[in-house]
């Protein structure tokens, strides 16, 4: 399935082309598909060139953390910037590969009220981890060298939160800033786990065989919204387990699920039979925005959609005829940030965009 070539950014966040610094285009193409993208206004492009993805807001809505491949390092690195694209700064070490950055809120009255959270392989090796072989089809590498780290917003040393021979990545933080949800293979499967923001009190949330990942907390902090693949047939189970033993995952389709953080009341939200991922709940926790290619499951067209948490009222949000993914609302619900191929100067170029959100 050709759409799987896009899905590499969902988990391992690999990129394929080096970043080349370039001036902002003098006459950019229209960023809004007028008459169709009725929920978006005043779209601003924040990055220009290369592969940029997974931009997420700080608690005050003034900063974004995101991953990008640029400069001489051949792997993704982690960056932060202001909401207008200024004050860009690399926050990872420049070694190994990073993925899935997020902010952790600390004392709101302190001069630097946040720390930054991300996964990295740099302690295992300064080099990029080896690419997975596609000799027998497309797969995601599940690097057991990924560990989770915190770093103060003002800089300084990294503080390692996990330490084991397992994949630990795809981490986000609860609204009360007390818990981290992440995906790990520490018990032999790709499951969701919770831990305190200091790395203590690790507990498993999901137990069904299959991939569970890319989770975010609901705004009330009680539920997790995430993407998942659970093999149904004996062949699917066999293939999944054999690949996992090799340190890879072969994606086919993904659907969205909601579960209490205690592992109870799990329910499936979408039944689209495509590459459905990157869910984020609306501020009222009654609706979900996400990305999917379900209308073109053999191709590269991913758009943003919204759906009620009971699976009703599916609505298309973007219409760019390319790739739109990784949406997140600002803390006040007035803005949306996401990654898109729109206005790209080269095929596959992915940049970060922010827009005013209209209900």
Banded pLDDT at 6 (limits 50, 70, 90): very low
Determine the Cα–Cα distance for residues 14 and 313; give it in Å rounded to an integer.
Answer: 33
Q: Residue 61 is part of a domain; what is its CATH number?
A: 2.120.10.30
Q: DSSP of 36-58, one letter per residue?
A: T-TTEEEEEE---SSEEEEEEE-
Q: What is the count of structural domains for the chain?
A: 1
- What's the pLDDT tens digit per position in 204-232? 999 999 999 999 999 999 999 999 999 99
Q: Under DSSP, is residue 97 helix (H, G, I), strand (E, B) or coil?
A: coil
Centre a 10 Å sphere on the Cβ of residue 356 and count the other Cβ atoms it contains.
14
Does 21 have pLDDT greater than 90? Answer: no
Q: What is the pLDDT of residue 315?
A: 97
The model carries a pTM of 0.90
The average pLDDT across 298-321 equals 92
> Secondary structure of 113-171 in the HEC alphabet?
CEEEEEEECCCCCCCCCCCCCCCCCCCEECCCCCEEEEEECCCCCEEECCCCCCCEEEE
Question: How far apart, in whole angstroms, are the C-alpha atoms of residue 90 and residue 68?
Answer: 9
The answer, yes or no, to whether residue 202 has pLDDT greater than 50, is yes
d(CA 309, CA 121): 35
Residue span of the structural domain in which 170 resides: 2-22+30-357
């Amino acid at each position: 399935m050709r759409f799987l070539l896009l899905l590499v950014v969902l988990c391992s966040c690999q990129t394929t082309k080096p970043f080349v610094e370039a001036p902002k285009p003098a006459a950019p193409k229209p960023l809004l598909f007028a008459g169709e993208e009725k929920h978006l206004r005043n779209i601003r492009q924040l990055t220009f060139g290369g592969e940029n993805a997974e931009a997420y807001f700080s608690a005050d809505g003034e900063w974004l953390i995101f991953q990008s491949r640029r400069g001489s390092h051949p792997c993704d690195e982690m960056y932060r910037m202001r909401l207008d694209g200024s004050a860009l700064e690399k926050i990872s070490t420049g070694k190994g590969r990073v993925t899935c950055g997020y902010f952790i809120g600390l004392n709101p009255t302190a001069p630097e009220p946040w720390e930054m959270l991300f996964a990295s392989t740099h302690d295992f090796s300064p080099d990029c981890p080896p690419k997975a072989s596609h000799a027998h089809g497309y797969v995601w590498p599940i690097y057991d060298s990924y560990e989770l780290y915190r770093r103060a917003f003002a800089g300084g040393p990294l503080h390692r939160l996990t330490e084991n021979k397992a994949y630990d990545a795809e981490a986000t933080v609860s609204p009360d800033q007390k818990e981290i949800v992440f995906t790990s293979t520490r018990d032999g499967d790709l499951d969701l786990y919770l831990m305190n923001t200091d790395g203590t009190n690790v507990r498993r949330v999901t137990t069904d065989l299959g991939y569970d990942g890319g989770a975010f907390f609901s705004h009330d902090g009680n539920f997790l919204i995430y993407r998942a693949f659970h093999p149904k047939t004996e062949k699917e189970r066999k293939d999944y387990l054999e690949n996992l033993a090799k340190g890879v995952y072969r994606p086919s389709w993904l659907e969205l699920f909601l579960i209490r953080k205690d592992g109870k009341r799990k329910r499936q939200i979408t039944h689209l039979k495509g590459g459905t991922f990157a869910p984020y709940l609306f501020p009222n926790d009654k609706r979900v925005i996400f990305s999917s290619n379900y209308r073109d499951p053999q191709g590269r067209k991913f758009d943003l959609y919204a759906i009620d948490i009971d699976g009703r009222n599916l609505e298309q949000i973007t219409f760019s005829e390319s790739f739109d993914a990784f949406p997140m609302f600002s803390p006040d619900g007035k803005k949306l940030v996401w990654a898109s191929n729109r206005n790209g100067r080269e095929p596959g170029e992915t940049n970060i965009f922010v827009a005013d959100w209209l209900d």
